[in-house]
Amino acid sequence: MKDYYFNVKAETMSRDEIIYNQEKSLRRVVINAYANNDFYKAKFDKLGVNVRDIKGLEDLPKLGFIDKEDFREQFPMGMLCVPKEDLREIHMSSGSTGTPVAMVYNEHDLNQWAECMARCYTMAGLFEGDPVQITPTFGMFNGGLGMFHGARKAGLFIVPASSGNTPRQIRLMRDFNVKCLTGVVSYTVRIMEVMDEMGIELPNLKVGIFGAESFSTLMRERIEKRLGIDAFDIYGMTETGGVGTTGMDCRDHSGIHIWEDQYIVEIINPETGEVVPDGEYGEVVFTSLHRESIPIIRFKTGDLSRVISREPCACGRTHTKIEQIRGRKDDMIIVKGVNFFPKQVETALLEIPGVLNEYQIIVFEKDGVRDVRINVEAEDGVTGYIVEKKLKETLGFSPKGDVFKPGTLPRREGKAQRVIYEK
């Protein structure tokens, strides 16, 4: 299966070309960060790194790591490596408390972001003039404008709906024959519910590009079946420069392609910091190769995945594929000595015939002991016993919970809150 390319030369370069370009760019990035930023200079001096001695990928461990806390401590622009007068845009992380994470962009960085997003759109089968509806908010969260920059670069017809007002979203998709819907999976579930209420179908919708939250294969299959689309998992975060910057899965759906001409990806043991062998799960680490305003050098994402393949894909792309994100380190829930991720709960629930798409994982403490309650919507005939039995088979213990009638659990127009911590 050959695929569509936005930048065929970059997307199909040989493994030797990828490594050669990564090493050349790494040397430049490290020297530039040391020369133009006090944070990186102090960091490398403390590690005893002579940046002129960094020659190749084997030298990456000498550079240590950075993480989200470094961004917060350096807020707003303590990691800046270009003059402030060169800046053109800023975005911040969403959903966190306390000091946010900020990413700023000069013109070069915006073009780099648009290039990565345009590759994602084209890889999904979108071409010049195709209508794309952007449902993430146009604001400090990077999703809306990131999707916009890439769509402009790819020459798409943009329907900038932003968030909320689901009936209007559906009418826009119908009236403008939208081919691609972008957003988060949980809001797409809400769109499907309102479509049923309105009695509207969307025969021209063919592609869904979803990011910002992890979703299971079963949830993807349900969405694809209901909407008649091909659903893609797009990857990127504030610290890497925004949505789509690091990659997406192709139409083969055999893993997320990392744009290795733009980023070095490593999978490390979260405890030791050592790179793990391909195929083993660990924490995803990125080093940016062409971002100028705030480059990242070995940024620990907190995301957990593994390298699936470094061989050419059936789509023709040669960039490394990692597995769809398993979860985040801080998303892991520990109850009664059992560790599990929300994605495992979703997979187990959706395997039960009659269980619908809405659920809640409620974590609470009773008499100083952590416990969990799992609520789910389901059709008649699904009992609490059936749900508890399935969850015990999957998780290794029996969480309490209730089965609710369809439409009775709370909804949000946007990213769903699947895990609730009760005080």
Q: Please give the pLDDT value at position 151.
A: 98
Instruction: Tell me the residue type at 234.
Output: I
pLDDT for the residue 197: 94
Please give the Cα distance from 15 to 317 (Å, whole number): 11
- Which ranges of the chain have pLDDT less than 70? 1-2, 94-98, 336-337, 367-368, 414
| Helix, strand, coil percent content, the chain, rounded in steps of 5 | 35, 25, 40
pLDDT at 114: 98
Distances (CA, A) of 216 to 108, 195, 326, 339: 35, 22, 9, 18
- How far is the C-alpha of 312 from the C-alpha of 15, rounded, in Å? 9
The pLDDT score that the predictor gives to residue 398 is 80
Domains, the chain, in order of start with CATH, read 1-329 (3.40.50.12780), 332-421 (3.30.300.30)
Measured CA to CA, the distance from residue 307 to residue 313 in angstroms comes to 13
Report angle CA 376, 212, 174 to the nearest 5 degrees: 80
> DSSP per residue over 246-267, as a string?
SEEE-TT-SSEEE-TTTEEEEE
Looking only at the bridges linking them, the beta strands covering 180-183 and 207-210 are: parallel
Retrieve residue 311's tokens.
């061989």
Element (H, E) at 322: strand 321-322
- pLDDT of amino acid 96: 45
Token couple for 85:
């007068």
Q: What is the pLDDT of residue 234?
A: 97
- Write down the pTM of the prediction: 0.87
For residue 367, the model assigns a pLDDT of 64
Instruction: List, edge to edge, every strand of the sheet that includes 327-328.
Output: 263-268, 282-288, 299-305, 327-328
